[in-house]
Amino acid sequence: MLLVQVIVGGLLLGAIYALFSSGLTLIWGMMNFINFAHGEFVMLGMYAALLVVVHLGGGPLAFGAAAALALFLLGIVVYLALIRHVMRGPMLSQILSTFGLALLLRYSAFFVFSANFVSLPDTALSGTLNIGGVFLPVAQLVAGVVAVTLTIALHLLLTRTAIGSRLLAVAEDRSAAMLMGIRPDRMQALAWGLSAGAAGIAGALLATAYPWSPSVGETFGLIAFVTVALGGFGSVLGSLYAGLIIGLIEAISAFWLGAIYKDIVVYGLFVALLWLRPQGLMGKA
């Protein structure tokens, strides 16, 4: 019974992993670019939720939307101010740009919020459900379900809508897209907004169910890498499957080996993937 609980908990957390990883994979697939600060976007989403709850007294819908919007705007700003320029430059500056950004955001958060772990005060999602002997915090359950829904929604947005096909067109062939009247710059900015927004909402969802500190950015960043590597760079659906799998693996490792070893398992999986199957489950290398 405890194992079932661990499994379910892992899958629910994995769903949120899937959500923020889909943002990372979107940028990779579209622009061949890795955002080393993606984990920090998630972390900022969590703090955005906290600020809304503490200062404006909003409920889950409010802080979720606030986190999404704030990070969406941040993503666009980061693209316009930084990414757009380094894209044309050497690999060194491309990697340094988001890596430096990650440091900047992480340690600014340490400075502003301190290294203490925080959690959201009681919200409408407090409490625990008992389903046949399995105890599930309501917040975790709702967060997981919402995460899966949003990830699928992102996938549908990309594959079934007009704007989605424009984004994919730019990913496929920039010059061809330009000839068709699509502006790559706008689409890429939008992609960054969506990516950061996904991270932001994921952060807000995480905040409802788990405590955190500024250090989680680093951890989530690495989890995003592993998830994207497993699911395939560029595939949102791949991120969904991979996120669930990673959440599951993580939970079971923690259960059987202890909390510290779960990181070793996850990062070890990443290294193994690079060795054996870099294109992941569903992607193109």
**Residue numbers of the site for other proteins (CB under 8 A)?**
28, 32-34, 36, 81-82, 85-86, 89-97, 99-108, 110-111, 218, 222, 225-226, 229, 260-261, 263-264, 267-268, 270-271, 274-275, 278, 285
Nearer to other proteins, 155 or 262 (CB): 262
| CB contact at 8 A, 244 and 38 | no
Nearer to other proteins, 130 or 175 (CB): 175
| CB contact at 8 A, 78 and 193 | no
Nearer to other proteins, 17 or 63 (CB): 17
Give CA–CA dist 219/199, Å, rounded. Answer: 14
Nearer to other proteins, 211 or 278 (CB): 278
Query: Residue 64: enclosing H or E segment and its boundaries?
Result: helix 60-78
Maximum alpha-carbon separation in the chain: 60
What are the two backbone dihedrals, phi and then psi, of residue 136, each rounded to the nearest 5 degrees? Answer: -120, 120
Nearer to other proteins, 55 or 275 (CB): 275
At its nearest, how many Å lie between other proteins and the CB of residue 62?
30
State in Å, rounded, how far the first CA of the chain is from the last one. Answer: 40
At its nearest, how many Å lie between other proteins and the CB of residue 272?
10
- Best CA proximity match to 191, nearest among 49, 46, 62, 78: 78
Give CA–CA dist 219/170, Å, rounded. Answer: 31
Q: Which amino acid is at 73?
A: L
At its nearest, how many Å lie between other proteins and the CB of residue 278?
5
At its nearest, how many Å lie between other proteins and the CB of residue 275?
4
At its nearest, how many Å lie between other proteins and the CB of residue 83?
10
At its nearest, how many Å lie between other proteins and the CB of residue 233?
9
Nearer to other proteins, 36 or 210 (CB): 36
Which DSSP symbol is given to 118? B
Read off the tokens for 4: 């079932």
Nearer to other proteins, 64 or 232 (CB): 232
| CB contact at 8 A, 21 and 39 | no
Give CA–CA dist 71/223, Å, rounded. Answer: 19
At its nearest, how many Å lie between other proteins and the CB of residue 85?
6
